[in-house]
Amino acid sequence: MQKIFRTIPFLLLIFLVVGSCIIAENEPPANIDLVQVRITRVVDGDTAYARFADGREEKVRFIGVDAPEISESAGGLEPYGTEAAKFTRRQIDGNNIWLEFDVEERDQYDRLLAYLWLAIPEEINDSEIRAKMFNAHLLLEGYASQVTFPPNTRYIEYFSQFTTEARKANRGLWNLSGGNNNTRPE
């Protein structure tokens, strides 16, 4: 009987350690706040509607990226716009994702401005951003170019690097004119 009573504290300790590891995997790093939403509709390559836990639905513009337009009202169909919209639709439409906000939460059109995380990052570093942030995927695959509107500049250095990589590799829209472009094709 004494052996059992000695084993219980040990098992309890193991349970607490393992349990805290499992909880830690589902918690974001302490330096960012994430809000889980469900993407209900993709508008184009860099804009979608998200439903929050309270039931409200908001239009979300992805920070730091500019995908080619597909709407007549937004300037007409731009080269690679359809491909960017299809990519975004395949990747996030109907999925649960996490939004991270920066300094300014809304733009002049009252859209929420956010970074979109496909999975909760364990920490904020290059490999986590490349693997789990959708804004980064758009840049790395050449479906968008970088755009910066201060003060929302939290990941500007990463996004600059990702854009350079996509451009040098002639990925996506950077391959439209058959060469190493410095700007997005008009």
Predicted confidence (pLDDT) per residue in 117-164, tens digit: 999 999 999 999 999 999 999 999 999 999 999 999 999 999 999 999
- Give a yes or no: residue 21 inside a domain: no
- Give a yes or no: residue 110 inside a domain: yes
Q: Is position 69 annotated as part of the catalytic site? A: yes
- CB atoms under 10 Å from CB of 99, counted, come to 21
- Give a yes or no: residue 101 inside a domain: yes
- Give a yes or no: residue 63 inside a domain: yes
How buried is residue 134: exposed, middle or buried, by Cβ count under 10 Å (0-12/13-18/19+)? buried
- Give a yes or no: residue 116 inside a domain: yes
Number of DSSP helices (H) and strands (E) in the chain, helices first: 5, 7
User: Which CATH number do you get for residue 72?
Assistant: 2.40.50.90
- Give a yes or no: residue 170 inside a domain: yes
For 70-94, the pLDDT digits (tens) are: 876 656 778 888 999 999 999 999 9
Average pLDDT over residues 154-183: 85
Average pLDDT over residues 104-116: 97
The mean-pLDDT minimum among 3-7, 10-14, 75-79, 162-166 falls in 10-14
Average pLDDT over residues 164-180: 85
Band the pLDDT of 31: cuts 50, 70, 90: confident
Q: Which helix (H) or strand (E) holds 113?
A: strand 112-117
Residues 57 and 39: beta-carbon distance below 8 Å: no
Top-confidence residue, 9 or 26: 26
Given the residues 61, 78, 100, 167, select the one marked as catalytic: 61
Cα–Cα distance, 4 to 84 (Å, whole number): 62
Given the residues 69, 78, 100, 141, select the one marked as catalytic: 69
Given the residues 38, 111, 130, 171, select the one marked as catalytic: 111
Q: Is position 111 annotated as part of the catalytic site? A: yes
- CB atoms under 10 Å from CB of 90, counted, come to 9
> What total number of domains does the chain contain?
1
- Give a yes or no: residue 157 inside a domain: yes
- Give a yes or no: residue 115 inside a domain: yes
Could you tell me the residue range of the domain that residue 77 belongs to?
35-175
Report the pLDDT value the prediction gives residue 63, as an integer from 0 to 100.
Answer: 98
Checking if the pLDDT of 28 tops 80, the result is no
b or e along 64-81 (b: 16 or more beta carbons within 10 Å of the residue's beta carbon)? Answer: bbbbbbbeeeeeeebebb
Checking if the pLDDT of 186 tops 80, the result is no
